Amino acid sequence: MTRGPASGRLVPPGPRPAHPATERLPAHAPSERATGAPGRAAAPPVRSRPAAGRSWASSNRGWTLAAGLVALLVLAPVASLAVEALQGSGGLWPHLLAHVLPPALRETALLLAGVGVLVVMVGTGAAWLVAAYEFPGRRLLDWALLLPLAVPTYIGAYAYLDLLHPVGPVQSAIRALLGYARPRDLILPDLRSLPGCILLLGFVLYPYVYLPTRALFLMQSATLVEAGRSLGAGPGAVFRRVALPLARPAIALGASLALLEALNDIGAAEFLGVRTLTVSIYDTWVNRSDLPGAAGLALVMLAACLGLIAVERRARRGRGYAGAAQRPRRMSRTRLAGPAALAALGLGLVPVALGFLAPAGYLAVEAGKRLHFAGLSGAILSESLNTLVYAGLATVIATVLGLLVAAGPRLLGGRWHGLLLRCATFGYAVPGAILAIGLLPPLAALDGLLDTVSRALAGASLTAMGLGTGAALVYAYVVRFLAVTAGSSEAGLARVPRSLGDAARVLGRGPTGALARVHLPLTWPALLGGALLVFVDCVKELPATLILRPLNVETLATHLYGEAARGTYEDGAVAALLIVAVGLLPVALLLRVSTPKA
Amino acid sequence: MTDPAPSRPAPALAVEDVACRFGRVQALAGVSLTVRPGEVMALLGDSGCGKSTLLRVVAGLETPDSGTVRLDGRLVAGGGAVVPPEARGVGLMFQDYALFPHLTVRENIRFGLKGQPQAARASADELLEQVGLAGHAGSYPQTLSGGEQQRVALVRALAPGPRLLLLDEPFSNLDRRMRDRVREDTVALLRRTGTTALMVTHDPEEALAVATRIALMRRGRIVQVATGEALYRRPGSLFAARFLADAAEIPARIRDGRAATPLGDVPAPDLPEDAAVQVCLRPEALRVGPPGEGIAAQVARRTFLGAACILHLRLPGMEGSVRARLPDPGTYGPGDAVGVTLVPDAVLVLPDHDAG
C-alpha cells in the first residue's frame, strides 16, 4: 500500500449520498432479452454488439489464410529451386560433382572455418574486454566495436583492395619507410587470397558475435562470477570456466549469423578471387546462363545453411539466456590502470580500426576527392533514389507481413499459426543469391503468362512485369528479411501481457481491434526497430539485387559492384560511403536495445 | 441491495457439463454451475483446480471441449455456438488488473464503451468518482498504488454494464491490511450496481466474506455448492471440511450410529455401520473449562490472538495436540491442567474416502 487511507482517496463508496448516475447504473445491465424488471425496462439497452459474433470466425479464417499465403510466398523460391535442379539435363549433377562443387565446397568450407574462428575470437574477446574491465575509453569502445556492422563485406573488400593495392597508400608508405623504389622490389602477401578474405570477413563480421555475447556478459549475474572468484579461480579462469560456457548460446548464435553473412557474401569473395559457392552460383547463372546448374549449386548451399543453423540450435540447446538474466545485479568491472589500461584500449581498438576506421576513412577521403573533382553525379542521385524506393517498399511490406504472421499465434492461438510463423521466417536462412535463382523460374513463368493474357486481351505485349519493374527485387527483399520484422514483432508482442489482449476482447474489441488499440501502441518501438534493420539490410543487399534488378537499373550497391568488377574507381566511393552512412543508423539502435537496463 | 433480484426464468449464468483439456491436463472434467441474477458466487479451490479455466470459458477466452455455457439463457458456447468474448456482454477483472499502460485511467475506463451512448461515459465517470479516483482520471495506471489500480480495474470492468462480472482473484495483489477494506468496497459497489458476479479465489476466508454462495472446486470438478455458512458448518466431504478450516482429525469407525473418540462418542446417524470416518475437531468444537469438567487435558502451548486465544491441548490417548479456541484471552497457560468437553454441533464426522 503506497497511499494510506488518510490520503482521503480511499473513500468507501457506501456512505456517500446516492448520485443520480448510481441509480441509473443498473440500467446498463439488461441483456438483449427483455428482462421484464420494471426499473430496467425503461432504459435503452446500452450494450449492443451484434456484429462481433458474425465476424469472429471469418476474421480468424482470413488471418490464417493470409499467414498461409505469406508462408507460401517464402517457400515458393526454395521449392522452385528443387524443381529446377531436378529438371536439369541428365549430365548436370555429374558435371557439378566433378568440376564445380569440389573446389567451391573446399573454398567455402575453409572460408567458413577461418571466419568462424576469427569472429568468435575477436567477438568474444572484445565483449569480455568491455564487460569485465574498466579503463579509460571503455565507453567509447563499447559502441565503437559495433561500427563494422555498418560496413557490408563487399564494401570492406572494395576499400581494402584499393588501400592495399601495390600502388596504394599502404604499400607505398611501407616502401617509402623501407627505402624501396618500385613495387616489384617488395612483394607483400596479396589480399586477393583465401587468408585475405578470411581476415577481411572476420574483422567486418565479428560484431555479430560481439553484440549478443556482450549483452549476455552484461546480464550475467554478478554472483556467478563472484562465486567463481571465491572458489579460487582467477579472472582468467573465471572467463574460461564460468563466463565462456555461460555465453555459449550467445556465441553460437552470433557465429551462425556471421557465417550466414559470409555465405551470403558475393562481392568480397569475388573481388578477392575466392570461388565460394555463392560466387559459383552467380557465375553459373550470369556467365553461363545455366539456370539448372545454378539451382543445383544453390540447393547444396541451402543445405549448408540449414546445417549451420542446426549446429547452432544444437549448441544452444538447453542453455537459456533467461536463467542468467534473472539477477539484476551486474558484474562489477575490474579497474585497469597504467600500461594495462592502455593495452586494453589498444587491443580493443584493433578490430574497430580494421573493421571500420580504415575502410570508412578511406571511403570518406576518396568520396571527398571525387565530389570535389566531379561534383555529385546524376547517376548517384538516381541510384540513391532507386535504392530508397526498393528498400522502402520492401520495408513497408515486410513490416506489415511480419506483424501479420507474428500476431497470429499471439492473438488467435493454435498450432497452425506457430508453424506458419516458422515457415514465413525461413527466408533468413536463404542467402540472397539462392533466393534470386529460386525466384527466376516462377517469375519468368508469371511474366510469360501475363504477356500471353495481355496479348490475348489487349493485343499488346506486356513484357517482364515481375522482373522488369523491380517487383521481383522487392519480393526477394521481403522474403529474405521477413524474419527480421516478424522476429521484432514477435518480441514486441511477447512483452505485452496476455491479459491485456484478453481484457481488450472482454471489453468488446475483436482480434483486430485488440491489435490496433492495445498491441500496436505498445509495440511500435519494436516494430520501428525491425523496420529500420530491414531497410538498412535492403540497402546493403547485393547478390539478389544483382540478379533481380530490372535491366539498366542500378542501385548504390550494384553501382559499387560494377565499378569494382570493372576495376574503375569513380563514383564507387561515394556510393559506398552512402551505404555505410545508412548502415550506421541501426548500430545506434542495436546498442540501445542490447544494453540491459541497470 | 437496493433492488431485489427480479424473478427471471433464466439464470444469469448456466454452465452445463463443461470439459476442457489442455494437452494432458484435464482442466475441467464436467462442470455444471448456475449463478442466479444478482448473486455473488465464489469459485473456491486450490491453484490448478480449474477455477480460472472455468472463468475463462465463461468469458469466452477458452473454448470448452464439450458442454454448454448460457448467459441469461442465451447459448454462448457449446452446442454449435461460438460467441467471442467481445460479444458476450460479460466483464472480467483480471488478477493482474491488465490495465492498458498506454492509456490514462479515463481512457482505460472508456475502452469498453465503444458504440455506447454518451450517457454511458457520464456514468463511467460517475463510477470513477464513487471509488474516489476522479482526481486520477488523467493519470497513467502505473503511477497509481496497487489499491487504486484495483479500483480502476473494477470500474473498467463495470463501466460497460456487464450482465455478469467475472473476477479473477481480485484481491490477491493487495497486502493484507488493504485487502479487507477494498473487499468491502468492492462488494458494496457490486450490490449497488446490482451486478451478478462470479469470483475466483483460493482463500476460503475471502469467499466467506464476499460470496452469497460458494462453489468449491477440486481437480476440475465442483465438489459442493452452498452458502458460505452451510459449506462451513455442513461440509459435504472431508475435502470440503479441510479446505474451509484446519481441524484435528481422529480416525474412527461407526458403531451403532456413533463414532468413538478419546473425547467421547459423537453421534453420526446418517453414516452406515462400520464406515471409516474422520472426526474433525475444529478449534471451536472444544469447550475448555476447569479440571474435572469432561476429559482431563493439559495445555501445551498458548497462542495469543488479541481478542481471543488458541490453546494447544494434549489429550490422553491422542498423539500430537488439539487446538481449542477460547473466545477471550483466558487465564490458562502452558502446563495448566484443564477439562475439555465437545460442542456437539461443531464436531464434524465425515467419511474417510475422498481425502487427498
Min Cα distance A30 → chain B (Å) is: 7
**Residue B306's domain is classified under what CATH number?**
2.40.50.140
The confidence score (pLDDT) of residue A57 equals 53
Suggest the residue from A28, A60, A518 to mutate for an interface test with chain B (most B CBs closer than 10 A).
A28
Q: Does B318 touch chain A (CB under 8 A)?
A: no
Cα separation of A267 and A435, whole Å?
16
Q: Which among A13-17, A424-428, B159-163 has the top mean pLDDT?
A: B159-163
Start-end of H helices in chain B: 51-59, 105-110, 118-130, 146-158, 176-192, 204-210, 228-233, 238-244
The confidence score (pLDDT) of residue B256 equals 87
Query: Could you tell me the maximum CA-CA distance found in chain B, to the nearest angstrom?
Result: 75
Q: Which helix (H) or strand (E) holds B286?
A: strand B286-289
B173: CB partners within 8 A, 6+ apart: B95, B96, B97, B146, B150
Q: Above 80 in pLDDT, residue A408?
A: no
Nearest to B100 among A21, A32, A518 (CB): A518
Min Cα distance B220 → chain A (Å) is: 22
B85 and B195: one domain?
A: yes
CB neighbours of residue A51 within 10 Å: 12
Cα separation of A475 and A390, whole Å?
10
For residue B225, CA distances in Å to A31, A197, B45, B47, B240 come to: 26, 76, 12, 18, 10
In percent, the amount of chain A with pLDDT more than 70 equals 82
Q: How many domains does chain B have?
A: 2
Q: Which helix (H) or strand (E) holds A23?
A: helix A20-24
Nearest to B96 among A30, A497, A509 (CB): A497
pTM: 0.74
Q: Above 50 in pLDDT, residue A198?
A: yes
B53 and B198: one domain?
A: yes
A232: CB partners within 8 A, 6+ apart: none
Residue pair A481/A394 in contact by the 8 Å Cβ criterion: yes
B271 and B333: one domain?
A: yes
Cα separation of A165 and A500, whole Å?
60
B203 and B305: one domain?
A: no
Beta bridge partners of B91: B165
User: Considering the domain boundaries, does residue B290 fall inside one?
Assistant: yes
**Sheet of strand B13-22, all strands in order from the earlier edge strand to the far edge:** B25-35, B13-22, B66-71, B74-78, B81-82
B274 and B321: one domain?
A: yes
Residue B337 region by backbone torsions, left for phi larger than 0, else alpha for psi between -120 and 50, else beta: beta
Q: Which helix (H) or strand (E) holds B19?
A: strand B13-22
> Which amino acid, A231?
L
Q: Does B24 touch chain A (CB under 8 A)?
A: no
B197 and B288: one domain?
A: no
The confidence score (pLDDT) of residue A414 equals 60
Suggest the residue from B123, B169, B184 to mutate for an interface test with chain A (most A CBs closer than 10 A).
B123
Classify B34 as helix, strand or coil. Answer: strand
> Which amino acid, A168?
G
CA A147 to centroid of chain Cα atoms: 15
Cα separation of B84 and A502, whole Å?
11
The confidence score (pLDDT) of residue B54 equals 94
B172 and B223: one domain?
A: yes
Query: Virtual CA dihedral for A51, A57, A62, A63, nearest 10 degrees?
Result: 100
Cα separation of A531 and A525, whole Å?
10
Q: What is the pLDDT of residues B243-273, one digit of tens each?
A: 998 888 888 888 888 888 888 888 888 888 8
Min Cα distance A327 → chain B (Å) is: 23
Q: In the predicted model, what is the mean pLDDT of chain A?
A: 79
Please report residues of A whose CB lies closer than 8 A to that of B10: 33
Count Cβ atoms within 10 A of the Cβ of residue B150 and give its class: 0-12 exposed, 13-18 middle, 19 or more buried.
buried
Q: What is the pLDDT of residues B271-319, one digit of tens each?
A: 888 888 999 999 989 888 888 888 889 999 998 888 888 999 988 878 8
Q: Does A61 touch chain B (CB under 8 A)?
A: no
Q: How far apart are the first and last CA of chain A?
A: 25
A 508-527 residues inside an 8 A Cβ radius of B: 508-510, 513, 517-518, 521-522
B48 and B180: one domain?
A: yes
Question: Domain containing B324: what range?
Answer: 246-351
Average pLDDT over residues B321-345: 86
B211 and B282: one domain?
A: no
**Range in A43-47, A402-406, B197-201, B348-352 with the lowest mean pLDDT:** A43-47
Average pLDDT over residues B132-151: 90
CA B99 to centroid of chain Cα atoms: 24
Q: Above 60 in pLDDT, residue A17?
A: no
User: Considering the domain boundaries, does residue B105 fall inside one?
Assistant: no
Please report residues of A whose CB lies closer than 8 A to that of B87: 49-50, 52-53, 56, 508
Min Cα distance B77 → chain A (Å) is: 12
Name the closest residue on chain A to residue B146, using Cα atoms: A1
DSSP B91: E
Question: Using the beta-carbon criterion (under 8 Å), do B3 and A27 form an inter-chain contact?
Answer: no
Q: Which helix (H) or strand (E) holds B164?
A: strand B164-168
In the listed set B224, B239, B254, which residue is the last one of a domain according to the structure?
Answer: B239
For residue A390, CA distances in Å to A73, A387, A397, A534, A539 come to: 18, 5, 11, 12, 8
The confidence score (pLDDT) of residue A4 equals 36
Cα separation of B107 and B141, whole Å?
10
Please report residues of B whose CB lies closer than 8 A to that of A47: 89, 116, 160-163
Question: Using the beta-carbon criterion (under 8 Å), do A14 and B188 form an inter-chain contact?
Answer: yes
In percent, the amount of chain A with pLDDT more than 90 equals 21
User: Considering the domain boundaries, does residue B97 fall inside one?
Assistant: no
Q: Above 60 in pLDDT, residue A564?
A: yes
C-alpha cell at position A300: 547444396
Q: What is the DSSP string of A521-550?
A: HHHHHHHHHHHHHHHHHHHH--HHHHHHSP
Residue pair A333/A132 in contact by the 8 Å Cβ criterion: yes
Question: What is the pLDDT confidence band of residue A98, given thresholds at 50, 70 and 90?
Answer: confident
Suggest the residue from A507, A517, A518, A524 to mutate for an interface test with chain B (most B CBs closer than 10 A).
A507
Residue B98 region by backbone torsions, left for phi larger than 0, else alpha for psi between -120 and 50, else beta: left
Cα separation of B321 and B283, whole Å?
11
B346 and B270: one domain?
A: yes
Cα separation of A319 and A253, whole Å?
12
Residue in the block written with cell 497470429: A408
Q: Above 80 in pLDDT, residue A12?
A: no
Question: Using the beta-carbon criterion (under 8 Å), do B91 and A506 form an inter-chain contact?
Answer: yes
User: Considering the domain boundaries, does residue B98 fall inside one?
Assistant: no
Question: What is the pLDDT confidence band of residue A329, given thresholds at 50, 70 and 90?
Answer: low
> Which amino acid, A18?
A
User: Of A504, A509, A491, A493, which is closest to residue A594 (Cα–Cα)?
Assistant: A491
Please report residues of B whose CB lies closer than 8 A to that of A8: 132
Q: Which helix (H) or strand (E) holds A388?
A: helix A378-411
Q: Which among A119-133, A248-262, A444-458 has the top mean pLDDT?
A: A119-133
**Residue B195's domain is classified under what CATH number?**
3.40.50.300
CB neighbours of residue A494 within 10 Å: 14
User: Of B34, B204, B162, which is closest to residue A503 (Cα–Cα)?
Assistant: B162
Q: Does B84 touch chain A (CB under 8 A)?
A: yes
In the listed set B200, B217, B239, which residue is the last one of a domain according to the structure?
Answer: B239
Q: What is the pLDDT of residues B72-98, one digit of tens each?
A: 989 999 888 888 888 888 999 998 899
Q: What is the pLDDT of residues B28-53, one digit of tens each?
A: 999 999 999 989 999 999 988 999 99
Sign of the CA dihedral running A132, A133, A139, A144: negative
Q: Which among A49-53, B190-194, B211-215 has the top mean pLDDT?
A: B211-215
Q: What is the DSSP string of A322-352?
A: HHHHS--SBPPPEE--HHHHHHHHHHHHHHH
DSSP B212: S
B 32-61 residues inside an 8 A Cβ radius of A: 56, 59-61
Region(s) of chain A under CATH 1.10.3720.10:
100-371, 391-550
Q: Does B176 touch chain A (CB under 8 A)?
A: no
B173 and B215: one domain?
A: yes
Question: Using the beta-carbon criterion (under 8 Å), do A26 and B185 form an inter-chain contact?
Answer: no
Q: What is the pLDDT of residues B91-129, one digit of tens each?
A: 999 988 999 988 999 999 999 888 788 888 888 888 888
Average pLDDT over residues A548-562: 87
Please report residues of B whose CB lies closer than 8 A to that of A508: 86-87, 112, 114-115, 160
The topology under which CATH files domain A100-371 is MetI-like fold (1.10.3720)
Question: What is the pLDDT confidence band of residue A463, given thresholds at 50, 70 and 90?
Answer: low
Question: Using the beta-carbon criterion (under 8 Å), do A500 and B130 form an inter-chain contact?
Answer: no
Q: Does A334 touch chain B (CB under 8 A)?
A: no
A137: CB partners within 8 A, 6+ apart: A345, A348
Question: Using the beta-carbon criterion (under 8 Å), do A46 and B120 form an inter-chain contact?
Answer: yes
The confidence score (pLDDT) of residue A221 equals 63
Question: What is the pLDDT confidence band of residue B3, given thresholds at 50, 70 and 90?
Answer: very low
Average pLDDT over residues A10-30: 35
B261 and B346: one domain?
A: yes
Q: What is the pLDDT of residues A41-96, one digit of tens each?
A: 333 333 333 333 334 455 567 777 888 888 888 888 888 888 887 776 666 777 77
CATH of domain A391-550: 1.10.3720.10
Residue pair B258/B267 in contact by the 8 Å Cβ criterion: yes
Q: Say whether the ipTM exceeds 0.85.
A: no
Nearest to B185 among A12, A39, A48 (CB): A12
B326: CB partners within 8 A, 6+ apart: B288, B308, B309, B310, B311, B332
Query: Angle B128-B131-B132 (CA atoms, 0-180°, nearest 5)?
Result: 90
Name the closest residue on chain A to residue B190, using Cα atoms: A26
Min Cα distance A493 → chain B (Å) is: 14
Question: What is the pLDDT confidence band of residue A316, given thresholds at 50, 70 and 90?
Answer: low
Question: Using the beta-carbon criterion (under 8 Å), do A56 and B82 form an inter-chain contact?
Answer: yes
The confidence score (pLDDT) of residue A289 equals 79
Residue in the block written with cell 533481380: A548
Q: B164-168 and B196-201 as β-strands: parallel, antiparallel, unpaired?
A: parallel
Q: What is the DSSP string of A53-114?
A: HHHHHHHHHHHHHHHHHHHHHHHHHHHHHHHHHHHS-TTHHHHIIIIIHHHHHHHHHHHHHH
